Amino acid sequence: MLYASKKNRKNSGDLGELEVVKLISCPNCGRDLMLLPKNYPLYDVQCSAYTKN
């Protein structure tokens, strides 16, 4: 199973991001986190306080 660990790790990472935004809040202000687009250069998730809708 070790040979497949790289692919599995990527897949679980994508799922992990979704779980993160659902399960945890911003450690700084307690607001919800939001998932950023895949082409966003630096981060996968961001505090929703940075977005004004």
Q: Does 49 bind Zn ion (CB under 5 A)?
A: yes
**Is position 29 an interface residue for Zn ion (rule: CB under 5 A)?**
yes
Q: How far is CA 29 from the centre of its chain?
A: 17
Could you identify the residue written with the tokens 């199973």?
Answer: 1
**Whole-Å CA distances, 53 to 14, 38, 49, 50:** 25, 21, 10, 10
Check binding of 28 to Zn ion (CB under 5 A). Answer: yes
Sole binder of Zn ion in the list 17, 26, 34, 35 (CB under 5 A)? 26
| # residues contacting Zn ion (CB under 5 A) | 6
Q: Which residues contribute to the site for Zn ion (CB under 5 A)?
A: 26, 28-29, 31, 47, 49
